Amino acid sequence: MTEYKLPKLPYGMNELEPVISEEILQIHYNKHHAGYVKNLNEAVKKLRDAEAKGDLVQQIVIDGAIKFNGGGDINHTLYWENLAPIGKGGGELHDGALKELICETFGSLEHLIDIMTPMCSGVQGSGWGWLGYCTVCKQLRPFTTENHDLLITKGAMPILCIDVWEHAYYLQYKNLRADYVKAIWSIINWNVVEQRFLALKK
Ligand code: MN3
């Protein structure tokens, strides 16, 4: 039976400072993300038991826990991967196919950031901001989703995500979510974003 595991972080707990404090990263990764993984494994086990018993009602009830905790695991894994410390790739978008399409679509990276920052800051309640790639229309587009909904529910594949749940910033930025989103652009790992884009674009 598959056991889902908390992925390793590609940087130290204090390396995203000053944008994301060590305290936030510790709690966000070791408590929130680890909690989603634990609850996902429990829900999958309960689903198997319900399946074995032929209990369809229970299977449908558990489905919600899998969507929430599984979405939490998938989205946080993408989020940690697409961040990098300042000076170690954070905020640096190099020339290449991704930069070209960003410039063609949005004019410049700065303009994309100007579009995405208020979108991400404006998510009502808990959710995620995304840069997605539609493999059908071959276009980049910003999105938001609620709770832990996957971007694929909107018909695009994720190449960049930003967690805008309060737990992602509140200890440091308090109510100023927009300041967190403005700051996060300096730790976006555009190399990872470009690798995801290139894998989809083929
Ligand atoms: Mn989170």
Q: Could you tell me the distance, in angstroms and rounded to a whole number, from the CA of residue 176 to the centre of ligand 1? A: 16
Give the pLDDT mean for 136-159: 97
Give the global pTM.
Answer: 0.96
Using one digit for the tens of pLDDT, what is the confidence trace for 14-46? 999 999 999 999 999 999 999 999 999 999 999
- Enumerate the domain spans of the chain: 22-81, 97-201
Residue 1 pLDDT class (50, 70, 90 cuts): confident
Q: Could you tell me the distance, in angstroms and rounded to a whole number, from the CA of residue 36 to the centre of ligand 1? A: 10
* CATH (one of 3.40.50.970, 1.10.10.10, 3.40.50.720, 3.55.40.20) for 97-201: 3.55.40.20
pLDDT at residue number 202: 80
pLDDT at residue number 190: 98
pLDDT for 64 beyond 80: yes
Give the pLDDT mean for 122-133: 98
pLDDT at residue number 155: 93
pLDDT at residue number 12: 98
Spatial distance between the Cα atoms of 172 and 139, rounded to a whole number of angstroms: 35
Q: Could you tell me the distance, in angstroms and rounded to a whole number, from the CA of residue 167 to the centre of ligand 1? A: 6
pLDDT for 75 beyond 90: yes
Beta strand ranges found along the chain (DSSP E)? 127-134, 139-146, 157-163
- CB half-sphere exposure, 114, CA atoms < 13 A: 6
Kindly calculate the radius of gyration of the chain based on its CA atoms and give it in whole angstroms. Answer: 18
Q: Could you tell me the distance, in angstroms and rounded to a whole number, from the CA of residue 51 to the centre of ligand 1? A: 30
Whether 22-81 shares its CATH topology with 97-201 is answered no
Q: Could you tell me the distance, in angstroms and rounded to a whole number, from the CA of residue 107 to the centre of ligand 1? A: 30
Spatial distance between the Cα atoms of 7 and 67, rounded to a whole number of angstroms: 19
Q: Which CATH architecture has domain 22-81?
A: Orthogonal Bundle (1.10)
Residue 184 pLDDT class (50, 70, 90 cuts): very high
Spatial distance between the Cα atoms of 137 and 150, rounded to a whole number of angstroms: 19
Provide the token pair at 21.
């404090």
